[in-house]
C-alpha cells in the first residue's frame, strides 16, 4: 500500500481512538518502526491525544477532528518541516493544561476531587482485537473485540463505577468499603472483590454475567433505591432479558466463557449459531449461514492459536458443511469485513 505522511496524519486519530481499519493500523505500525524520529513523533501525538479529554471538559469540541485539523494551522504559521507538526501539536494541547493546572492550585482539595470525578475516559478495542489494562484502583480489565470500558480518571470515594459495552473480564481488587459497580445499561453489577465476565453488546437482546469467583449483586440501573434482581455465586451465569427485565441463573463451567482472556476459544455443546457469533467477533469476519438447518448443529471443540482457515476446515470435517470466502471490498476509506458463507453439503 502506498502512503504519504498526510495519510499517517489522517490515520493517527483513528489509531488512538481504536476506529482505524486493520490494514491502516499495520501501515502506521510499519511507519513507527521505520525510524526513532517517527516513533518519537508517534509518542508525542499519543500524549497530545491523551490530553484531549481534559481539554474537552474545559471547552466542548470534537477531539477527533481537532487533532486532525491542528496540522494545517501550524503549517501556515511556521516554516518547520511537516514531519514535526505533531510535536508542536502536543505543545499546543499541553500548554492549556499547564495553565489550567495552575488555576486549580487556587481551589480547595474538594473542588479538585469534584473536577476529577466528572472527567471520564473510554478505552475501546476495534473488531478483531483484544486488550488488557489497569483501572485507577489497580483492578485489571481484559477487553474483547469491538468493546469499550468507560471510567473516571479518579474513582469517587463512595464507589468505583465503570460502564461496559461489549465483552469485558474484570479482576477487581477487594475493598469491603469501596464497592465496584459495572453499569450495563438496564442493570448493573455490584461487587466488592471478585473475578467475572460481562457480555453486553448493544445489538443483542440479552446481557450475560459469568461469575468465576466471589459474589455479586445484579441490580436495576437507577440512582435512587436500586432493586436487587439476583445474587450470584461462584460458577454461575446470569442471563438478563432486556425486553422483560427478567434474570435466569444457571450453574456453568466458567472456563468456557472466560478462557478468551488466555487466548482460548472453547465450544461445548454449542449450537452453530453461537459458534458463528463468537467467530465473527474473534476474527472480525461476517459469517453468513445460507442454510437454516446449519444453525441447529451442535459443536464441541477448543482452539488456541488456530487461524480462521484452520477452524473452518475443522468445521467441514466434523459436520456436513462447506464454506465460501468472499473477497474484502473497499468501502469508502476502509475495507469491509471478510464474508464467509456456510452451506449444507
**Domain architecture of the chain: domains with CATH:** 5-106 (no CATH), 130-255 (2.60.120.1440), 263-344 (3.55.50.30)
Distance of alpha carbon 173 from alpha carbon 319, whole angstroms: 44
Q: What is the Cα–Cα distance from 50 to 121, expressed in whole angstroms?
A: 9
Q: Which of 13-27, 108-122, 236-250 has the lowest mean pLDDT?
A: 108-122
- 57 pLDDT above the threshold of 60: no
> What's the mean pLDDT in 233-261?
94
Residue 188 has pLDDT above 50, yes or no: yes
The pTM of the whole model exceeds 0.75: no
User: Which strands, in side-by-side order, build the sheet including 285-289?
Assistant: 285-289, 338-344, 321-326
pLDDT at 118: 54
Average pLDDT score, the chain: 80
Residue 294 confidence (pLDDT) above 60: yes
Q: What is the mean pLDDT of residues 246-255?
A: 94
pLDDT of residue 262: 92
Over 80: is that where the pLDDT of 184 sits? yes
Question: Average pLDDT of 54-67?
Answer: 45
Q: Are 91 and 49 in contact (CB under 8 A)?
A: no
pLDDT grade for 51, boundaries at 50, 70 and 90: low
Per the CB < 8 A criterion, the answer to whether 169 and 197 are in contact is yes
* Per-residue model confidence (pLDDT) at position 105: 44
Cell numbers representing residue 71 in the block: 496540522
Amino acid at each position: 500500500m502506498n502512503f504519504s505522511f498526510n495519510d499517517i496524519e489522517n490515520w493517527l486519530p483513528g489509531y488512538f481512538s481504536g476506529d482505524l481499519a486493520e490494514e491502516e493500523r499495520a501501515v502506521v505500525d510499519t511507519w513507527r518502526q521505520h525510524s526513532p524520529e517517527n516513533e518519537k513523533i508517534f509518542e508525542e501525538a499519543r500524549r497530545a491525544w491523551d490530553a484531549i479529554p481534559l481539554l474537552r471538559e474545559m471547552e466542548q469540541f470534537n477531539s477527533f477532528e481537532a487533532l486532525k485539523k491542528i496540522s494545517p494551522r501550524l503549517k501556515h504559521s511556521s516554516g518547520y518541516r511537516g514531519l514535526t507538526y505533531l510535536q508542536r501539536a502536543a505543545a499546543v494541547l499541553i500548554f492549556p493544561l499547564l495553565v489550567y493546572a495552575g488555576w486549580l492550585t487556587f481551589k480547595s482539595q474538594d473542588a479538585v476531587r469534584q473536577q476529577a470525578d466528572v472527567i471520564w475516559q473510554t478505552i475501546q478495542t476495534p473488531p478483531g482485537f483484544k486488550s488488557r489494562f489497569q483501572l485507577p484502583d489497580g483492578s485489571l480489565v481484559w477487553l474483547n473485540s469491538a468493546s469499550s470500558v468507560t471510567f473516571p480518571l479518579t474513582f469517587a470515594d463512595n464507589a468505583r463505577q465503570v460502564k461496559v459495552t461489549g465483552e469485558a473480564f474484570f479482576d477487581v481488587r477487594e475493598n469491603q468499603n469501596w464497592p465496584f459497580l459495572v453499569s450495563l445499561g438496564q442493570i448493573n453489577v455490584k461487587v466488592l472483590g471478585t473475578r467475572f465476565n460481562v457480555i453486553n453488546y448493544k445489538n443483542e437482546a440479552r446481557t450475560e454475567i459469568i461469575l468465576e469467583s466471589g459474589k455479586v449483586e445484579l441490580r436495576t440501573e437507577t440512582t435512587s433505591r436500586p432493586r436487587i434482581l439476583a445474587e450470584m455465586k461462584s460458577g454461575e451465569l446470569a442471563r438478563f432479558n432486556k425486553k422483560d427485565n427478567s434474570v435466569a441463573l444457571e450453574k456453568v463451567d466458567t472456563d468456557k466463557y472466560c478462557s478468551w482472556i488466555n487466548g482460548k476459544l472453547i465450544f461445548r455443546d454449542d449450537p452453530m449459531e453461537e459458534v458463528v457469533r463468537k467467530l465473527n467477533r474473534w476474527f472480525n469476519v461476517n459469517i453468513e449461514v445460507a442454510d437454516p438447518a446449519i444453525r441447529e448443529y451442535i459443536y464441541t471443540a477448543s482452539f488456541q492459536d488456530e487461524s480462521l482457515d484452520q477452524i473452518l476446515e475443522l468445521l467441514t470435517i466434523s459436520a456436513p458443511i462447506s464454506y465460501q470466502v468472499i473477497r474484502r471490498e473497499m468501502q469508502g476509506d476502509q475495507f469491509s469485513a471478510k464474508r464467509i458463507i456456510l452451506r449444507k453439503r
